[in-house]
Amino acid sequence: GCVLVVSVIEQLAQWHNSTVKAAVERLCNYIPGKYQIICHMLRCIDREMNADVVCHSLKLCKQDPGQPLCHLYPPPKVSWFSTFLESYRLWKKSFVGFSSVCAFPLLANLCEKIKYVIRNKLPFEDFDGDKFSTFPTLRGYHWRGRDCNDKNTTVYPGRRPDNWDVKSDSNCNGIWGVDPKDGIPYEEKFCKGADSQGVVLLGDSAGAHFHIPPEWMTVTQMSAKSFANLPMAFTDELDWPQFSEITGFLNSTIGGWTDSLYLRLRKRNRCNHRDLQNISQNGMSFFFSAAYLSSSLARNQLLDNPAIVIYATIGNDVCNGNRDTLAHMTTPKEMLSNVMQALRYLDSRLPNGSHVILTGLVDGRFLWDNLHDRYHPLGQLNRDITYSQLYSFLDCLQVSPCSGWLTPNETLRNLTSERALQLSSVLKEIARSEKFANFDIFYMDFPLRQTAEEWRKMGGEPWQLIEPVDGFHPSQIAAALGTSITWQKALHEWPQVLGKENPFNDQIEAIFKDQGGH
């Protein structure tokens, strides 16, 4: 992260033909409010010091004994050691006592909030403790349906209506009251027998929709507007679940368009409004323990509607940043044990009539094949940094999101895909052979090949399906196209999963159009 930020500063100086100090000031003026403290840390940058030197001197990068010195750029012309010492003295003088960004008073409270939500996967602002919130970020309604009464623990999205919601909206779908023409509650008239159900995603960073805006690193287009979304992105862990493939509900502001399983279920049955939960975590593998699900899943077996649960960690069981990456991959035996443990717990929590869809792992060779010789956003100004170089840098630091796929070693890429296929086969066999009391279970391959084919038909290039900054996650375009492919598969192969179409949708919208917001 540090190397990326310092690189942007140096490129800003180059693009505007200014001093590095002026470029730091320019960047600080772009960045909102209290977040400016991050760039003020970098005022020690000098023309003699490239990004690697600065970040090592700030102790944000380090070289462990016996390990290679990791750098994205060639070493500076002057002595690395003397440059390092000078930079470190400047930094130490200005920031003595601060060991990390979170040690700064202006950011300490925010960091504590973020640590809380990462640890608990629950909304930070949730006054009644029902796991739903009226606040968007910090695991709020960007991740789960918006609470419509945060002072009443019995009011939340997804529950069956209390007394048909005659007096108030107990399930937050915006439908309540009594039709004055016939005295029948609207919830009973429109939603009774309508197969109302929610959607829950148990996923990883792809499901959470990890995204670093490329405009944060494209100096030729950079302005204050580029960083307007920084506070929201920071407090959503650099995830954008509100635009994601499974639970997205807002129009995308990060390119492409939003299409999601939730939006299609809502369109099919307006009674499903706000019934969504994205319980994804950056770095999550298929091991969703009972303790994890118990603390994060909001579903009452007796009081709530059934749910479609998408169980999708598409790469982390084979992806890690270790040098001996194969030894740290999940084995088929571990996969079987982990998934069965989670499914048994879900059977004890999900209302009867629910559905679980297991998603296979992706074939990540697609990443190297389509990106390795392209320029990363950071390398586009000077045409000096390819994705291959970025992958090597991250691998040296042992923070690669996937050492097995983001590598020039073709044999290792093939072995990683082979393991992914083995693990997908385990999931497929579980779906074929296992039975549960409260849900039926299905399997589907991750639709990367179909997504790429569909995008080519639309005139697109395969590399556009990958996030440009991290070079690893599915892009907004890939997410939207994937929704369409998944929906068509479900319509043809498992129509019972999607429920029937509600014939009263138009009437609901006409009467409750002012209460349909998210």
Identify whether 108 is part of a domain.
no
Length of the chain: 518
| Distance (Å, whole) CA 431 – CA 163 | 37
Residue 419: C-alpha distances to residues 211, 412, 447 (Å): 26, 11, 18
Do 24 and 219 touch, CB atoms closer than 8 A?
no
Domain-ending residue, one of 43, 71, 99: 99
Q: In which residue are the tokens 């601060």 written?
A: 98
> How high is the pLDDT of residue 96?
42
205 part of the active site: yes
Identify whether 442 is part of a domain.
yes
Residue type, position 80, single letter: W
> How high is the pLDDT of residue 283?
82
| Distance (Å, whole) CA 160 – CA 175 | 12
Residue type, position 87, single letter: S
Identify whether 352 is part of a domain.
yes
> How high is the pLDDT of residue 38?
65
Domain-ending residue, one of 99, 118, 137: 99
Residue 84: C-alpha distances to residues 252, 262, 496 (Å): 43, 52, 64
Do 27 and 12 touch, CB atoms closer than 8 A?
yes
| Distance (Å, whole) CA 79 – CA 189 | 78
Among 87, 205, 252, 475, the active-site one is: 205
> How high is the pLDDT of residue 88?
47
Domain membership of residue 433 as a residue range? 238-498
DSSP characters for 458-515? TT--GGGGB-TTTSSSB-HHHHHHHHHHHHHHHHHH-HHHH-PPPTTHHHHHHHHGGG
> How high is the pLDDT of residue 43?
63
What's the domain count of the chain?
2
Residue 357: C-alpha distances to residues 203, 245, 476 (Å): 12, 14, 22
Identify whether 110 is part of a domain.
no
Do 224 and 161 touch, CB atoms closer than 8 A?
no
Which CATH number fits the domain that encloses residue 355?
3.40.50
Identify whether 289 is part of a domain.
yes
Identify whether 136 is part of a domain.
no
Spans of the chain below 50 pLDDT:
80-81, 83-85, 87-88, 91-98
> How high is the pLDDT of residue 104?
64
Domain-ending residue, one of 57, 74, 99: 99
Identify whether 147 is part of a domain.
no
Identify whether 506 is part of a domain.
no
> How high is the pLDDT of residue 132?
98
